């Protein structure tokens, strides 16, 4: 865990996020663990990322602020569901850990990584990107305020350089 990861959790708390949905991801492991530990939050594991879009919309209808945690490869699963955000003018915040960049070992991750920002913007989301730890708090706070105070759909891309290059290990 690094200091920015704990600060990021603090930003979500300060912005009133009560529901955290996620598909398990090492890049979000600290946030997921903290959400499960915090009695004021509900952490929900998903089978696929688009469920998190619908869950966030339902939460908004009930007056609850939500965040969807996903990896860039999961963005492709959400494209059709993103239309719900624009149609319903739902506040929506997602934090996306990027793969397919910065020394990636898995070629399967590269195509969606290249398309992530373009796809999200084409579906009407405002997209912010964070490459440096000292910009995490300010960027996510601005994104959360924009989403929840202006009823906007917002994504923050956490670069692979920021989260760290995933290492493939094999047991022998």
Quick check: 136 and 8 in contact, CB under 8 A? yes
Domain ranges of the chain: 3-163
> Across the chain, which distance is largest between two alpha carbons, in Å?
53
Burial class (CB in 10 A: 0-12, 13-18, 19+), 62: exposed
For residue 10, what are the CA distances in angstroms to 33, 98, 99, 146? 13, 21, 24, 17
User: What order do you get walking across the sheet with 17-22 strand by strand?
Assistant: 42-45, 17-22, 65-71, 92-97, 153-158, 126-130
pLDDT tens by residue, 97-131: 887 566 666 667 666 777 789 999 999 999 999 99
> Looking at residue 93, what DSSP letter applies?
E
Looking at residues 8-30, what average pLDDT do you find? 95
Residue 104: strand pairing partners? none
The β-bridge relationship of strands 153-158 and 126-130 is parallel
Nearest to 161 by CA among 68, 27, 7: 27
Mean pLDDT of the chain: 90
172 Cβ contact list (under 8 Å, min separation 6): none
Residue with tokens 């699963």: 77
Residue in 37, 27, 38 with CA at minimum distance from that of residue 5: 27
Fold of 3-163: Rossmann fold (3.40.50)
pTM: 0.91
pLDDT tens-digit readout, 52-94: 999 999 999 999 999 999 998 899 999 999 999 999 999 999 9
């Amino acid at each position: 865990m690094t200091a920015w990861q704990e600060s990021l959790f603090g930003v979500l708390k300060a912005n009133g996020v009560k529901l955290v949905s996620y598909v398990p991801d090492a890049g979000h492991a600290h946030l997921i663990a903290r959400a499960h530990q915090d009695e004021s939050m509900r952490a929900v594991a998903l089978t696929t990322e688009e469920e998190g879009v619908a869950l966030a919309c339902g939460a908004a209808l009930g007056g609850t602020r939500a965040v969807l945690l996903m990896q860039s490869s999961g963005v492709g699963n959400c494209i059709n569901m993103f239309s719900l955000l624009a149609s319903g003018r739902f506040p929506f915040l997602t934090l996306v850990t990027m793969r397919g960049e910065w020394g990636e070992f898995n070629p399967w991750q590269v195509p969606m990584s290249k398309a992530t920002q373009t796809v999200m913007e084409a579906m009407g989301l405002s997209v912010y990107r964070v490459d440096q730890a000292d910009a995490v708090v300010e960027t996510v706070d601005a994104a959360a305020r924009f989403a929840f105070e202006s009823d906007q759909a917002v994504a923050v891309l956490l670069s692979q350089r920021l989260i760290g290059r995933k290492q493939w290990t094999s047991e022998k």
